[in-house]
Amino acid sequence: MTAQAAAAMDDYNFAYLDEQTKRMIRRAILKGLAVPGYQVPFASREMPMPYGWGTGGVQVSAAVMTPDDTIKVIDQGADDTTNAVSIRKFFERTADIDVTERTSEATIIQTRHRIPEELLNEDQILVYQVPIPEPMRFIEPRETETRKMHALEEYGLMHVRLYENIAKHGAITTAYAYPVKVEDRYVMDPSPIPKFDNPKLESEAIQIFGAGREQRIYAVPPYTKVVSLDFDDYPFDPSKANHPCALCGSVTSYLDEVIVDDKGGRMFVCSDTDYCASRIRRQEQAA
């Protein structure tokens, strides 16, 4: 960071947002935790990064952050993807807090599209970036309607959609952002994580979802029941690529497919870069 940039950031409050705004966001978070899975409207601010690029997650992280925190930022499971780098830098610059790539060392993990492979604990907060918080948005485009449906717990349409999938394709064709029911009440969009990650939504950590452009915050408190929607005869299937990781050999982690040449060659590697790197480190130590 240049001296000029550092000086410019002195004009801003800790973690960029002013305290009034943080209080407003914290109130929304507390309400979200009190009513798991319910989308709490909040007066999302314009952030210095574009809507759709994690402004909801950034606002949530900024509101829960203290100077003693250590933050990890991942996008697609990786710490070194461009937007993760950009957001991590933002907090280094505006909050001057410690950053890490190690899942176990982080107290706040901001994520886009993945839940870390390593199980989280009670001292951690997982903050999701959410593009479209409404699980029924693509069935019913009107917010006024979907809010009514949530209020009346009217989720028949959602099941009809899944049923139509099966009737047409023989399987539920939602592969990511797979809808869940939280604590037997609200149907919730877990953000576009692969359905492989859904079982990890039942966690010891606090999970907070921030949708900046859509002005919504929702949350899943620790040890909350989270069930992926399915049918008795078509149970939920958290599938993944049927390969081991080409780098660390893990057969249980979620894999990215990388095209390695123009002749159809490809390899599969862990999408969670920290998980993969830790395994390789351990293997090297053991050898």
Partner 1 sequence: MYVAVKGGERAIDNAHTWLAEERRGDISVEELSIAQIREQLALAVARVMAEGSLFDPDLAALAIKQARGDMIEAVFLIRAFRTTLPRFGASEPIDTGAMTCDRRISATFKDVPGGQVLGPTFDYTHRLIDFTLAATGELPPEAQAGEPRTEPTPHVTEFLDREGLIQTEEDDTKTPRDLTREPLDFPADRPLRLQAIARGDEGFILSMAYSTQRGYGRNHPFVGELRVGQVAIEMDIPELGFAIDIGEVTITECETVNQFMGSKSEPPQFTRGYGLVFGHCERKAISMALVDRALRWEELGEDNVGAPAQDVEFVLSHADNVQATGFLEHIKLPHYVDFQSELELIRKLRAEAETAKAEEDASPFQEAAE
The residue within the footprint of partner 1, chosen from 69, 75, 101, 117 (CB under 8 A), is: 75
CB nearer to partner 1: give 34 or 260.
260
**Cβ of residue 105: shortest distance to partner 1, in angstroms?**
19
Residue 8 interacts with partner 1 (CB under 8 A)? no
CA distance 277 to 229: 33
Q: Which stretch binds partner 1 (CB under 8 A): 152-160, 182-190, 224-232, 267-275?
A: 267-275
In DSSP terms, 127 is beta-bridged to: 110, 208
Residue 188 interacts with partner 1 (CB under 8 A)? no
CA distance 254 to 252: 7
CA distance 164 to 114: 27
Q: Which stretch binds partner 1 (CB under 8 A): 63-71, 84-92, 118-126, 154-162?
A: 84-92
Task: Cite the active site residues.
Answer: 37, 245, 248, 270, 276
Residue 37 · residue 185 · CB < 8 Å: yes
CA distance 143 to 277: 43
Residue 144 interacts with partner 1 (CB under 8 A)? yes
Residue 247 interacts with partner 1 (CB under 8 A)? yes
Residue 199 interacts with partner 1 (CB under 8 A)? no
Residue 131 · residue 211 · CB < 8 Å: yes
**Cβ of residue 120: shortest distance to partner 1, in angstroms?**
18
The residue within the footprint of partner 1, chosen from 153, 257, 281, 282 (CB under 8 A), is: 257
**Cβ of residue 24: shortest distance to partner 1, in angstroms?**
9
In this structure, the strands spanning 125-129 and 206-211 are parallel
Residue 150 · residue 187 · CB < 8 Å: yes
Mask 93-132, x = binds partner 1 (CB under 8 A)?
Answer: -------------------xxx----------------x-
Residue 213 interacts with partner 1 (CB under 8 A)? yes
CA distance 56 to 206: 16
Instruction: Name the strand (E) or helix (H) holding 270.
Output: strand 266-270
CA distance 148 to 106: 38
CB nearer to partner 1: give 165 or 224.
165
CA distance 107 to 68: 9
Residue 48 interacts with partner 1 (CB under 8 A)? yes
Residue 142 · residue 157 · CB < 8 Å: no
Residue 250 · residue 270 · CB < 8 Å: yes
Residues that bind partner 1 (CB under 8 A): 12, 16, 18, 41-48, 50-53, 55, 75-78, 80-83, 85-86, 89, 112-114, 131, 142-144, 169-171, 173, 175-177, 192-196, 213, 215-216, 239-241, 247, 254-258, 260, 267, 269, 271, 273
